């Protein structure tokens, strides 16, 4: 295994400088937001329609949208009809009429990114355009009040809530700021981390880097990075490697630590044929606490420490659900476990071509009967793809 190299940090910082302790923040991401979940099933002559159900499976908003997404905390959700996006309230009525080519959910600051005629701007909760449509690409505002945007389709920067650039466009690619750390950015095909002023706190040196995890354990203060192609490790906020070894990225999947301090890792121990290239769960000390045995493995939740995880059994090629000791609480039977465990304790599963919902004890809450379930993208097991999958 490759030996870790020394991380580049700010040479002006002294090793003797005392750094104040950083308390990790846990982000809340529920499956049922305001008690509602968007599902797609009903078919009419135009196509499948989306409506919203409650936890009993009863429709609160009848299927009538071409597509729709989860509600934001402000009680509004994006919904699409006749090729245009608008925003509905919890009764299903449009409070901002369908008029946008694309639209994103509202952020905590009450602003949402919308696209018209190829340019992105931002609206407020009344539908007024408060930041002019001028950006080729735009992402939602982070909790620090900054949003990543691109003016020319090439370089990314960050704006504040007035639309002014706080960090000028200069990066080839970026992530949004997370609740627990600086933002990963790419310069000259190398990734590093910047603070809210745009200054590098960890110099660009990685082949890939992910945001610091949004969870409530000390592991939240680490982030997954790829120092070399397909080899990964974790760094803390000083840029120091957390683990002594690098781990293989097998199939493009590598995750941050979850709220319970575990991460799904593939074994590269060639001497152990039983576990070689199998997934297990590693703790922050680099020890496998759930031995490598699974064909694939989802992370435990970033949003609750009381969590379970979906894993794929090699013998049956079916997905089941395990607890934090690696014991099955749901035997392998699903085509896929599509989400991490949400803060409110649910997972989306797929069986016989349809989606349903189970709780963290493995009980069926919503039978597998829907063509699709439109869950919050942050619940996707590898939600770091969320930055680009909708807008680029």
Query: For residue 390, what pLDDT is reported?
Result: 35
Rounded CA gap, 105 and 3, in Å? 43
Give the other-Cβ count within 10 Å of 268's Cβ: 17
Distances (CA, A) of 65 to 82, 156, 187: 9, 33, 41
Distances (CA, A) of 235 to 199, 207, 214, 228, 245: 18, 14, 15, 14, 12
Instruction: Answer for the pair 22, 178: CB distance below 8 angstroms, yes or no.
Output: no
Instruction: Answer for the pair 158, 148: CB distance below 8 angstroms, yes or no.
Output: yes
Domain ranges within the chain, ordered by starting residue:
77-107+109-142+144-178, 183-213+218-257, 258-392
Give the other-Cβ count within 10 Å of 272's Cβ: 12
pLDDT in tens, the chain (392 residues): 334 334 444 434 434 444 455 555 667 899 999 999 999 986 666 678 999 999 999 999 999 999 999 999 999 999 999 999 999 999 999 999 999 999 999 999 999 999 999 999 999 999 999 999 999 999 999 999 999 999 987 899 999 999 999 999 999 999 999 877 799 999 999 999 999 999 999 999 998 888 887 554 555 456 788 787 778 888 888 888 888 877 776 555 567 888 888 989 888 777 787 878 899 999 888 899 999 999 999 999 988 888 999 999 999 999 999 999 999 999 999 999 999 999 999 999 999 999 999 999 999 999 999 999 999 988 988 654 433 333 33
CATH of domain 77-107+109-142+144-178: 2.40.128
What are the φ/ψ torsions at residue 36 (nearest 5 degrees)?
-125, 150
DSSP symbol at 283: -
DSSP lists the bridge partners of residue 288 as 282
CATH of domain 183-213+218-257: 2.40.10
Instruction: Answer for the pair 108, 363: CB distance below 8 angstroms, yes or no.
Output: no
Query: For residue 44, what pLDDT is reported?
Result: 62
pTM of this structure: 0.87
Query: For residue 13, what pLDDT is reported?
Result: 43
């Amino acid at each position: 295994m490759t030996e870790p190299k020394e991380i580049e940090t700010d040479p002006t910082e002294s090793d003797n400088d005392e750094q104040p302790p950083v308390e990790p923040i846990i982000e809340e991401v529920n499956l049922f937001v305001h008690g509602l979940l968007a599902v797609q099933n009903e078919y009419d002559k135009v196509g499948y329609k989306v409506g919203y159900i409650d936890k009993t499976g009863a429709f609160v908003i009848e299927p009538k949208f071409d597509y729709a997404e989860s509600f934001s905390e402000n009680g509004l959700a994006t919904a699409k009809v006749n090729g245009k996006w608008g925003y509905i309230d919890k009764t299903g009525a449009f409070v901002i009429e369908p008029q946008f080519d694309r639209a994103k959910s509202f952020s905590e600051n009450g602003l949402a990114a919308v696209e018209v005629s190829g340019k992105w701007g931002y609206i407020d909760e009344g539908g007024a355009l408060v930041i002019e449509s001028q950006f080729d690409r735009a992402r939602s505002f982070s909790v620090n009040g900054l949003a990543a945007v691109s003016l020319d389709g090439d370089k990314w920067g960050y704006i504040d809530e007035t639309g002014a650039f706080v960090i000028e466009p200069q990066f080839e690619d970026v992530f949004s700021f997370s609740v627990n750390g600086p933002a990963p950015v790419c310069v000259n095909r190398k990734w590093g981390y910047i603070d809210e002023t745009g200054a590098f706190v960890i110099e660009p040196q990685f082949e890939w880097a992910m945001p610091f995890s949004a969870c409530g354990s000390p592991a939240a203060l680490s982030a997954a990075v790829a120092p070399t192609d397909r080899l990964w490790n974790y760094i803390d906020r000083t840029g120091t490697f957390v683990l002594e070894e690098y781990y293989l990225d097998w199939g493009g999947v590598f995750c941050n630590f979850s709220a319970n301090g575990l991460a799904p890792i593939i074994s590269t121990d060639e001497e152990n044929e039983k576990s070689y290239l199998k997934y297990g769960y590693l703790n922050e000390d680099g020890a496998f606490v759930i031995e490598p045995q699974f064909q694939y493995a989802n992370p435990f939740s970033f949003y609750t420490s009381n969590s379970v995880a979906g894993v794929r059994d090699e013998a049956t090629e079916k997905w089941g659900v395990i607890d934090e000791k690696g014991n099955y609480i749901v035997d392998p039977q699903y085509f896929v476990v599509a989400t991490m465990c949400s803060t409110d304790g649910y997972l989306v599963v797929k069986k016989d071509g349809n989606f349903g919902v189970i709780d963290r004890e493995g009980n069926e809450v919503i039978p597998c009967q829907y063509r699709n379930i439109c869950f919050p993208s942050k619940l996707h097991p590898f939600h770091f793809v969320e930055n680009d999958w909708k807008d680029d």
